[in-house]
Copies of this chain bind each other. A is one copy, B any other.
């Protein structure tokens, strides 16, 4: 029974993601979600008490999907700076491949429409990137005098803007190139002086 409830919950989240991605928060209706997910209204209301509740669950699931991919990358034991670059590229690829990720990001940008507090995922990514920046500093790949907290904040903000503007301008067709460009424009600011000499 519990497994069946879990399967229903997943179906509702995936149906909701598909609807939210298509029409946005404001135009989505819960009856469209029940049709798309092929569940009854009762089943939906057993798990989610409102459209807002459902939107927040899609955002949580999106964050979960990207975080799990990030943890897999971290577990590979690459140098920290390489881990950071790979995490950004993987997130970019998930925006192309995963409807729940696309829906979660759209809802995050529209969160002001439902007074949703979406600080959590940003805080998580800032903490992860700050931790990895400090590790990269110990590994000699990021200069020691860089403020890890400010840089992590900037990286998350810059990534957010890059994928958002890519969506507005090209429907994300150039998102992977823009993430690559971001790192190209960041590297010279963060690598230690002697690495720059090697590159020139």
Contact between A161 and B157, CB atoms less than 8 A apart: yes
Contact between B189 and A26, CB atoms less than 8 A apart: no
- Let me know if A156 is at the binding interface, CB within 8 A: yes
Q: 20 interchain pairs (CB within 8 A)?
A: A25-B26, A26-B26, A110-B113, A111-B168, A119-B169, A122-B165, A122-B168, A122-B169, A150-B181, A154-B162, A154-B178, A154-B185, A157-B158, A157-B164, A158-B162, A161-B161, A161-B162, A185-B190, A188-B188, A189-B189
Q: How far is the CA of A122 from the CA of B178 in the complex (A)?
A: 15
- Secondary structure at chain A's binding surface: helix, strand, loop or mixed? helix
Number of interface residues of A (CB under 8 A): 44
- Let me know if A151 is at the binding interface, CB within 8 A: yes
